[in-house]
Structure 1
Amino acid sequence: MGVFAFARYSSAALGYQCDLEPAVKKVLIHCSTMLTTVWLVIIVCAFWIMRYCWKRRRLWYLASKIPGLSGYPIVGSALDLTGTNEKCLKFLRTHLKKYYPTVKIWVGSWLWVAVSDPDDVETVIKSTKCLGRKFLKDVLDHGRAGDGLITLSGDKWTYHRKEIMPTFKLSVLKNYISIFQKYSFELVNKWSSDANGKEMDIFNVICYYNLHMVFSTIMGVDIDSNNKKLNKYLISIHNLKKLIIDFLRNPCPKFHSLLYAKKIKNNTKDFVDFPNFVVSEKISSVKNKMIENRSNKEYESQSGNIKLGYLDHLVESLLSGSSVLSEEEIRGETVSTMFAGFETTAPGSSFALMLLAFHPDIQDRAFQELVDIFGYDKMQPATFEDLKEMTYLEQIINETLRLYPSIPITMRDVEEEIPIKNYIIPADCTIMINFLRNPKYFTDPDKFDPDNFSPEKKSTRHPFVFKPFSDGPRICVGAKYAMLQMKVLLSTILRYYKILPVGKLEDLERLESTISIIPVLGVKLQVKAILNGAILTQTPLVNSDTRARALTSTLQRSTQQTEWIFRLTSCSGLDPRPAGNKE
């Protein structure tokens, strides 16, 4: 009634005789409707919050038992993860070390639990309760990248892995060694003009040849370096890695993925198009061979058993009607495999070269091992037996990956609770598997010492102190592939060049993560050619017996080298024989 009285008084004072009651009633009805709507929204929100809290009560309870960072209300530690990738990685490394062996980090409502103790790592890695990576799948799904082993879980992951595993057996990988050697020789030849102590950043060059090794082996195709699709693909990988890191640091990842769905789709177009182009080319190639009644068995062992490479196997199975995977699934797996193959070994090789540059005594010892195997013949291609003898080089690679793992933290979704030594990891969180520089197992954990992986020291350590390629059901299918590739590449470089440092060793600790880790200041070093079997230092490291064995080895391998050169040049369409002697 107060509203009506006020309206009458106001109209009388102003000399108006109009009746305002109908208009006021209409306003009141509208206000009542709005008030009812507001109350309904409040009730629904309250019900949703209560349901959300009830559903997550177990997660919060178990999380409260785990030490670590609670962060700020609502956003958690998301604000600490803003800024540069260097700052973000430094924050994570600092707190993982501070709260060793188990730490929790809240990123908004998203719970991360990091484990570092070897017993806990073994429990988690071998568990079948944390096989998926939904957080990564959410990003890639917006780009229609398809499903691959790195994102799948459950039954689909099982039959995908079962189909792919045979293509990474050692009997298949042995056939790739000559291809690794071919591109390694191309790389050292490319550096020949800079082998005068000139400073250079080698990371992009390593990535370039690494990618071509992946194409020529796993994919079974040769890609033109000037291919526009390839160049766009490399740019898209760089952009996609940034988007994935931004997604991980966001306190509302689901909202973030929806908000940036269009951006993700645009940036992943070339990331998807190029692998699809590779698959289409391979399907066309295999079809043509079938039509011409030619064998599509690309790899065959001495025993006569058919040994196909990854993409050849999947496509041949598809066209013959015996494939477990559909064409769409093959395309998704190819997107995943190309990305994983490109991303892992290039940082490992780059860090190994930089560490050898700063530790000339270790570089000399590695060179001596190569002299024992090859003599002073730089052109002698490595065989599988040669690679098996490179025990010290393998120790160097393992020590490099201990200090600078290609993927510093492995993240997986926890589908069910996982009990570890002192805590229970709750379901619906993301677990981070981290291999720290653990002073409990390494005397000087920050020092580069390949002898940490000598047989004597390895036998006294917990086996899960160091697992660069993971273990258990989700062990990396390309672990042996990566080790063979890095051995061939590094052994070839060390036979040709002395690696010299640029900057300070401390600069290597300035790292940034774009899925894999790289130095903030780049991978810079100098190379100097080793001429006529010159030893790296002024002090002779090779005694007379070793020198004699090396020269004998060189003579014995000369015939093998000639045959290998003929085989390599014939594959490239060249004929090494003199013009008058080609019968």
Structure 2
Amino acid sequence: MLLYALILALFCVYFYLNKSSNRNDLCKFPEPPGHPLLGHISTITSTTSIIYNLSRYIENYGNTLKLNIGPSVFPLSKSLVTIDYKFVKFVLSHNKILKKSQNYQFFRRWLGNGLLISDGDYWRRHRKILTLAFHTEILKDFVGVFESVGDVLIGKLGKYDGKSSVDVHRLVTLCALDTICETAMGTKMNVQSGENSQYVESVQQMGRIVIERTLSLIKVSKYTFWLTRDYYIQKNALKILHGFTLSVIDSKRNKPVEKTTKRMAFLDLLLKVSHDENILTIGELQEEVDTFMFEGHDTTAAGISFILYCLADHPEEQEKVLQEQKELFGDDKNPPVTYSDLQDMKYLECVIKETFRLYPPVPIIGRYTTEEIKFDDSLIPKNTNIIFFIYGLHRSSEFFPQPEKFKPERFQNFNSAFPYAYIPFSAGPRNCIGQRFAMLETKSIISKIVRHFEIKPTLPRHELKLSVETVLKSVNGIKVTLKKRN
């Protein structure tokens, strides 16, 4: 305890001296009251308090405000939080504001310099290479995998027929991981059968730790992080995560690369570039695999789970999804679904988009200014974090009348004049490279579940407890009731 007290005292002195030198930065923007030393982490104390407090700040102080998430050495100590459309569009479309906000550095031990974190020419070069892995012809080849992996999920869900509730997020996450392994990585890992499920748990642990390090006096610094239990949890999680991705790479690397005129999927493309063109080192290759394994399953699993929750709460909309399926396939629960069929699921696409509006899988993203920038009549200083509160932006009545209401029809005639009002996959040069992959997978899984099950709310109704853990989660699960259709 004495050691903790001494460290805290030293931090306090250092933080105060540094804070005093920055107190005039961003002074034009409104700032909610905060602790004189700790800033706003006196109220934003956990992953479950982020959504509530940011929503409250925006409501009371305007669409762009200044926050100090801790003393000056904290990664988000000098930040603007915004849902202002003009500002969002200005920054996300800007070709010189591409660096991620400072809190992303907590991903380094896990994802290295992968596409999520890298910037500059390195990022541009890797982005150009990886874009080739998401060509339409490749996505068409993945539809069969979406369907076969989804069939395993249907079997797992069938065990809960008539039960009081099932936490769909847990099962969908395993399905999404199997999908990403078999499609982008070209390797069957059979996670849904109980193999390699430690990977999923480790991803969840790392997601929590990354956010909590942003908010903790002790965890924020590598010099004191080792004093906490999370340091050892992270150490063990990283061993599992890196071991899993290495096993995926090794399963492909030791096989000769086939000479083919076909377009290649993600890992095959990386291996070819690394082997033939000597552009990627093996270390860089693993960092990109780690990044896409994480981003390619965790966000999709969250999105699918929230869609099931919304359909359970809205039986009329669920019936419309079912009728669309019957128009395409009749009463066949297991039709041979094609890429064209998935494209024709227009109402289901509206349901997906509306759910992603209310529950964006990535509710917060950030950028970092490496030079002073001018926006309207304001100068944004160098070294400022700009935090886009997507969850709040998507619930703005300026763009979405009755924003708290679930209305998929709003996306049948969505006003494309304001493309930056709806950004579940980010926007601009750093938008999500795998968004079309995610939409196809989501359509495949949701349509399959709706054909097989009626989805109902639990009794009593399960209330979500939202948490920001790199992706949007519910700390008490996402629970529904399932009933097999005749």
TM-score normalised by the chain length of structure 1: 0.74
Tell me, yes or no, if structure 1 residue 464 matches structure 2 residue 420: yes
**What do the CA deviations read for 1:442-461 (whole angstroms, capped 9, x no partner)?**
22000000011112x434x5
1:90 is displaced (CA, Å) by 1.5
5 Å matches for 1:81-230? 81-82=44-45, 84-107=46-69, 108-109=71-72, 110-133=77-100, 135-136=102-103, 138-141=105-108, 143=109, 145-225=111-191, 230=196
1:214 is displaced (CA, Å) by 0.4
Aligned partner (choices 340, 350, 355) of residue 385 of structure 1: 340
Matched residue type, 2:35: Y
**What do the CA deviations read for 1:429-450 (whole angstroms, capped 9, x no partner)?**
2111123201112220000000
- Name the residue aligned to 2:440: 484
For 1:400 and 1:383, the matched residues in 2 are separated by: 24
Taking a change above 3 Å as real, the CA distance of residues 190 and 233 of structure 1, as seen in their structure-2 partners, is closer
Taking a change above 3 Å as real, the CA distance of residues 53 and 117 of structure 1, as seen in their structure-2 partners, is closer
**What do the CA deviations read for 1:477-509 (whole angstroms, capped 9, x no partner)?**
00100000000000111111111111566824x
Tell me, yes or no, if structure 1 residue 474 matches structure 2 residue 474: no
Match of 1:219, SS state, is coil
Bigger helix fraction: 1
For 1:524 and 1:227, the matched residues in 2 are separated by: 21
For 1:146 and 1:410, the matched residues in 2 are separated by: 18
Q: Is the 8 Å Cα contact of residues 110 and 290 (structure 2) preserved in structure 1?
A: no
Tell me, yes or no, if structure 1 residue 338 matches structure 2 residue 293: yes
Aligned partner (choices 223, 235, 238) of residue 204 of structure 2: 238
Match of 1:440, SS state, is coil
- Name the residue aligned to 1:284: 254
5 Å matches for 1:240-389? 240-250=206-216, 256-260=221-225, 263=232, 264-285=234-255, 287=256, 295=258, 297=260, 305-319=261-275, 321-389=276-344
Determine which structure has more spread, i.e. the larger CA radius of gyration.
Answer: 1
Q: Unaligned regions of 5+ residues in structure 2, if any?
A: 1-12
Q: Is the 8 Å Cα contact of residues 79 and 384 (structure 2) preserved in structure 1?
A: yes
Matched residue type, 2:283: E
Q: Unaligned regions of 5+ residues in structure 1, if any?
A: 1-44, 298-304, 532-583
Matched residue type, 2:407: D
1:376 is displaced (CA, Å) by 1.0
- Name the residue aligned to 1:547: none
For 1:323 and 1:503, the matched residues in 2 are separated by: 58
For 1:441 and 1:227, the matched residues in 2 are separated by: 44
Q: Which stretch of structure 1 is more off in the superposition, 178-187 or 257-266?
A: 257-266
Moved over 4 A (4+): 226-229, 503-506
- Name the residue aligned to 1:66: 29
For 2:211 and 2:106, the matched residues in 1 are separated by: 11
Match of 2:388, SS state, is strand
State percent identity of aligned pairs: 28
Q: Is the 8 Å Cα contact of residues 66 and 423 (structure 1) preserved in structure 2?
A: no
TM-score normalised by the chain length of structure 2: 0.88
Taking a change above 3 Å as real, the CA distance of residues 191 and 49 of structure 1, as seen in their structure-2 partners, is closer
For 1:49 and 1:377, the matched residues in 2 are separated by: 67
Count of aligned residue pairs for this structure pair: 461
- Name the residue aligned to 1:573: none
For 1:124 and 1:506, the matched residues in 2 are separated by: 38
Q: Is the 8 Å Cα contact of residues 177 and 191 (structure 2) preserved in structure 1?
A: no
- Name the residue aligned to 1:419: 374
For 2:148 and 2:192, the matched residues in 1 are separated by: 19
Q: Which stretch of structure 1 is more off in the superposition, 512-521 or 108-117?
A: 512-521
Taking a change above 3 Å as real, the CA distance of residues 496 and 224 of structure 1, as seen in their structure-2 partners, is closer
